[in-house]
Structure 1
């Protein structure tokens, strides 16, 4: 059977997933520029700092757009990134509606009695193994976990984390990268006197890595990919989510939109 033959893969995948989930909720570090000091335009786009740069690849430059909090920010951020990737916008009312439906979709997938999900490359995990691991991490039964997952954040629903992002990458068939503010990059920006304009981010992991690739990348001179007039984040197959510290023990998910320079 495939499940028995790939059991070691599944265990490795679950270990990787738990590690990444921990990365989403680490201890708060001393940041040079806390999130509370960021300034935003009325549409939620961060205007100070204006640019977010991948510390490992300066060619990856983003603008950041925030979403409402209240415990649904991960689902809202993925919804906004997806809409923007199709050249569409989304107001808070629409995003909340999508977030509610997204919660239900993720719960429905997790409660499937059989089937595999891709984490990255050839690393697979069964829906039931992922559900049991996620529930154990929260100290809940699988039934309690699914009930809490379907609730909105304002009702005490679960925050989105590694298990939910795994499902979403598979449902959307898109890679989803998770970033955090890089403490070394923050110091570097401060030394350069650019702390008001630049924040450096570090990619912590990718759900669906090397699996869900953009089909247009193989198209010669794609009309979508080859023109610089495309707005920030529009038509980006890859979704990018930034997780920031808002206070001790509290996290908030935002959207990173690839910038056309």
Structure 2
């Protein structure tokens, strides 16, 4: 069977999630997304479309096409900015992690201060498809969708194995761990299972770890519930 053009977005190699919740690492599939400023929204869109279907992580040919991902990505960017703007206007609080709350105004202000601009300027800039989204937008979408967004990062599995009494890695596989859990708990999956994204370098997996500047997001699909 001929490969779809979109199949090329899936990374080759062996990837696993190390978690205290599982006795052994969980295998993952990782999907690259365009690094055009909308990588965060593309990665989340790929996760949403994947979870809304009955396919499995390894059904590469059945995953949503990149045009579908881009279309939803644009909608998600708008939802995120609208959520933050509404939160500021109505002095609302958003769920950061578990029971931790933050004022929407403070969340945006902290991000805007990094660029030396006002909150309104930050939100206006974020509507531009070329502007890179980050923490505030992840929190906004997790609250808007009522879905937990799980942020992953690479890890040294030899250390993780020592801490969890697991066998050492084979030297060829790449291991990830949970960096943060944004938004409401996904217990019961009332609004859908968690969405997994990886914060990494745009050259991942060639560049990773402490030497690689994190400037990109990718979509991640566990082979089973974590």
- Identify which of 169, 176, 182 aligns with 1:201: 176
Q: Is the 8 A contact 1:100 1:150 kept in 2?
A: no
Regions of 4+ moved over 6 Å: none
- In 2, Cα distance between equivalents of 1:187 and 1:129: 35
Give the TM-score normalised by the residue count of structure 2: 0.74
**Correspondence for 2:60:** none
Counterpart pick for 1:175 among 125, 128, 148 = 148
Task: Give aligned pairs, total.
Answer: 194
| Alignment correspondent of 1:144 | 121
1:46 aligns with 2:11: yes
* Cα distance, 1:59 vs structure 2: 4.3
250 and 126 in structure 1: CA distance in 2 versus 1, 3 angstrom threshold: closer
1:205 Cα offset (Å)? 0.7
Distance in 2 of aligned mates of 1:80 and 1:141: 31
Provide the secondary structure at the position in 2 that maps to 1:78: helix
Q: Secondary structure at the match of 1:129?
A: helix
1:111 Cα offset (Å): 1.2
Q: Which of the residues 40, 45, 55 maps onto 1:79?
A: 45
Instruction: Give the deviation of 1:151 after TM superposition.
Output: 0.3
- 1:194, distance to aligned residue in structure 2 (A): 4.3
Which residue of structure 2 lines up, in the alignment, with residue 28 of structure 1?
none
Aligned to 2:164: none
Cα deviation for residue 236 of structure 1 reads 6.8
Partner secondary structure for residue 110 of structure 2: helix
Q: Deviations over 1:177-206 (max 9, x none)?
A: 111111355998xx85441xx211121111
Change (3 A) 1:185 1:66: farther
Going from structure 1 to structure 2, the CA distance change for 1:194 and 1:186 (only over 3 Å counts) comes to farther
Per the alignment, do residues 121 and 51 of structure 1 end up closer, same or farther by CA in structure 2, a change over 3 Å counting? closer
Q: Find the residue that maps to 2:215 and give its secondary structure.
A: strand
Distance 1:70 1:61, change over 3 A: same
Where 1:160 maps in the other structure, the secondary structure is: coil
Equivalent residues in 2 for 1:61-80, closer than 5 Å? 61-80=27-46
Question: Gaps (5+ residues) in structure 2?
Answer: 55-62, 162-167
Q: Which runs of 5 or more residues in structure 1 are unaligned? A: 1-39, 217-234
Deviation readout 1:105-135 (Å, 9 max, x if unpaired): 1111111212221112222122222221221
